[in-house]
Structure formats: C-alpha cells, structure tokens
Structure 1
Amino acid sequence: MGPVFIALDFGELKAVQKFLDLFPNTDQLAVKVGMELYYSQGPAIIKYLQAQKVQIFLDLKLYDIPNTVEQAAYQLALQKIDYLTIHAAGGSKMIQSAKAGLIRGSQEQHQAVPKLLAITKLTSFSQTQMQKEQQIAATLPQAVSHLAQLAQQNGADGVICSAQENQIIHQVTQPNFLCINPGIRLADNSADDQERIATPSKAKAWGSNGLVIGRPITKANDPVAVYQQILKQWRN
C-alpha cells in the first residue's frame, strides 16, 4: 500500500515535536510539510524530520516561470526530501524544469530523486467555481484528467487529486502513475473547507496510491488512535 501522509499543519517546531512525541515509532511515519510550517521554520524543519526518520512530502505547490521553478526544485532536492509538489497548470516546460532541478540536486547529494507530484485541481474547488472563476468550459473530471496526462508526459511521477478522480486518471495514464489523495475524512468527520472528499476505504476502492490527512488526525482528541483507525481502513 502507498503511504498515509500526516499533514503537519503547525506554525512552529514545538508544536510538531509535541505532536510527533505522541507516536512511538516515528520511523514508520510519512508526513507532509506544507507552506505554513516550511515558511515558518525553513530548511530546519526538514533536518529535524530527517532525524526522526520519517518520509518527507514537501508540499509547496511550485508555480512560476520554468527557470525559477527549476532552481527552486534544485535547492529543495539538496535538502533530501522524498516528494515535492508543483502545479500542473504551470505547463509542460515548467513541469520538465521542475524534474530537471530535482534530478540535478539529487545527483549532487547521491540520493534518490524525489517523486514529483503535480496538483490538478485543489480539493477545495468545485466544478462550478472552476468554470465561473477560471473560465474553464470543461467539466472537472475532464480538466483533471487532462492535467494528469500533461504532468505524466512531462516527467511528473503522479498527481495530487481528489479520490473521486482516481479512476478517470488511471484510465488515461501509465500503471505506475501515482494518484495521491487529500480531502480524506472518516465517515463522522467534518468536511471543513474541502469540497471533494472521500473516506480511506472509498479512496482505496477507487485506486488511491496514497493519502494526505491533516485535521482529522492533528485536531483529534487522540491523534494516534485516529491514525491507527485510518491505517486499518487503508490496509484492510
């Protein structure tokens, strides 16, 4: 089974340390570092997490001109992360440049190249919102599958997408192309600001290659128990 990433949506190192102290075996964890935490702590948070022996998914959603993205990806690869996100909407040259930067940085560190994951459409976005605000006439599944194909053709290893879109993406991409799903909630959880959600079991049934889960775990009264409950649904 693919990883279950815990989104470390904290603003300071002490909060991360307090949270991870709840888990007896951090070397078995996979975590996501998003904008809030990385912009607060910088590369120091990556070094701390490496010492905890966790898998590191750096979710910065790079989106800029190709040269800028390549140089950013190069610098981030030097930090020995495991996954990095970009926006597929940045286009073919930007995706190619991100991959080139990751390869170059990894070669210098003699490390495996981080997996490059492309954002299709944010799971907080609805089809109506996409069509009205971005003036995209396609349906949401059409837009997402198009961006997934674009990402694969230009060197990405997978996409970040709603679990609801896994099947259509797997139909138009290679078997090893990853669908990593945020917007995962247990049946009794609040949807929060997510529009396109799924339970771990449903995501698995739809062909998920990995989950990203934040608030249902980090805001729980017993984060470890909720994490174990999610793992059970994911692995059974």
Structure 2
Amino acid sequence: MAISDRIIVPLDVSSQPEAMALLDRLPQVTFWKVGLELFVSSGPGILTELKSRQKKIFLDLKLHDIPNTMAGACRAVGGYGVDLLTLHATAGKDALKAGQLAAQEGAIAAGNPTPNLLAITLLTSLNARTLAFDLKIPLELPEYVLHMALLAKESGLPGAVCSPQEVEHLRQTCGDNFLLVCPGVRPTWAESGDQRRTVTPAAALKAGADYLVIGRPITAAENPVAAFERICEELEGGRGEV
C-alpha cells in the first residue's frame, strides 16, 4: 500500500459545497473522513459523491446507543458502501455485536463489501486527568484504552481508533490483524490544536498504526497540496521524527 493511501484526510467542513471544493483542491487524497457535522448537514449525498470519484470513505459518526438502535444505524450504513465506520466501545458488547451483524446484513442486501467497524477507545481530546476527575474512571489511561480495544475485539469488531501514544501497546496485545486507526497525528511543523495526545506521522506508523487521520496540518495549510505532499515525502524518506 502506498504511503499516501494510509493518510485519511477529514472533510471537516459544514456543507457539501465546501467539501466539494476541498475534494477538488486535493485530488491526490484517496481516503477521506466524513464526520458528524458534514454528514448531518449534507446527508448521504456526500458519500455518493466520494464514491463517484472512487475515493475510500471513513464515516466517523461515533455511534453510541442501545443495541437495537445501533443495529438499525449500522444496517443503514452498510448500504452506503463506506470502508470504515466508528462506534463508541462504551456502548457495550451487546451493542457492538449488534452493530457488526447489522452492518454485514445491510452491506449484503446492497451488494456492498461489509464496512470495517472501529471502536472508539478514548477521544484524543481527553487525557488522564479528564479520565480520572471528570469521568471518574479509576483505571490508568493506557489500561482503559486497552480494555476498550479488547472489548471491541471480543465483540467481533475488526479494529479500533486510538491515540498514536497507545497504538504500540494495542498492536502487541491485539495482534497484527486488528485494524488500528490513529487521529491526533501532527507533523513537527504543525500546531497540535485541541488534540492532547499526539505524535508525528512517522512515529505513529512505526508504532503499528494502519491508518493516520491528519486534518488541519493539511486542510488549514496555506497550500494544502504542498502540505499533503510534504507529509508523504517525510514518511517515504524516513525523515519524520521517530
């Protein structure tokens, strides 16, 4: 797989026309993330547009509900032909299992490949202090993230979303076939923004990430194409900080 295919760029805009402009500006990008804001504002039309351009789709809805509702939502997503879909691991094993089965049913009915369901372990905007003091979870952050990933694996999900700071531990414990997607990845020349647990792209890949979600360092750059190409070149040339 080419390095450029392992970088997922978020369409973090509020409307489909804005998304189309970004797609036109970055034709080199093969894998795009559609999050809550864009999906709520544009509906599945943006997914149809991405598929018409032969792009891969990470539908990052972070579903979290009772098993029956999760199943209904995942069944509908199975019909869209997306590649990745996120659910919160904290929805519990029954909901994760229901979502996985329903996504497969929806995909088969539509003649699509089954999307890979990824469990959200812990949002990268949260840190150990938030976990302990705000959420009142007594586990240490790495232990909690590992528990959520193992819960997802035991529920039959093929992968998880985690901070690149935890990816090496998860890779060692969950195995080589467990898909790991890492947001919170920032080149050394980019600001971290509201992501609190970040590392460089090269370090994340070296630790075992399958895909990297890299947004603002590319989309908010003065020249997004140059920023995307710079990241790819740093990874291919091994010049990233590891």
CA distance in 2, matches of 1:234, 1:146: 30
Aligned partner of 2:13 in structure 1 is: 10
Further displaced range: 14-23 or 44-53? 14-23
TM-fit CA distance, 1:92: 0.5
For 1:34-183, list aligned pairs within 5 A.
34-183=35-184
Identity %: 37
- The superposition leaves residues 156-211 of structure 1 with CA deviations (integer Å, 9 ceiling, x where unpaired) of 11111100101111122132001110011110211111100011111111111100
Letter in 2 for 1:122: L
SS at match of 1:68: helix
CA distance in 1 between counterparts of 2:215 and 2:229 reads: 14
- 2:79–2:112: 8 Å Cα contact kept in structure 1? no
Letter of the 1:91 counterpart: G
Give the unaligned 5+ runs of structure 1: none
Instruction: Work out whether 1:23 is the aligned partner of 2:26.
Output: yes
Q: Which has the higher contact order (CA 8 A, sep 6+)?
A: 1
Q: 1:234 to 1:97 in 2, by over 3 A?
A: farther
TM-score by length of 1: 0.96
**Which structure 2 segments of 5+ residues have no match?**
238-242
Supply the distance in 2 between the matched residues of 1:24 and 1:196 (Cα, whole angstroms). 29
In structure 2, the CA distance between the partners of 1:54 and 1:173, relative to structure 1 (3 Å rule), is same
User: Deviations 1:75-101 (Å, cap 9, x if unpaired)?
Assistant: 111111111000011111011011011
Q: Could you tell me the TM-score, scaled by structure 2's length?
A: 0.93
Residue equivalent to 2:208: 207
Q: Rate the CA distance shift 1:20–1:92 in 2: closer, same or farther, 3 A.
A: same
Q: Secondary structure at the match of 1:164?
A: coil
> Whole-Å Cα distance in 2 between the matches of residues 95 and 232 of structure 1?
38
Partner residue, 2:194: 193
Provide Cα deviations, 1:58-78, integer angstroms capped at 9, x if missing partner: 000000000100000001111
8 Å CA contact 2:57–2:84 kept in 1: the answer is yes
Pairs aligned (count):
234
RMSD, aligned α-carbons? 1.2
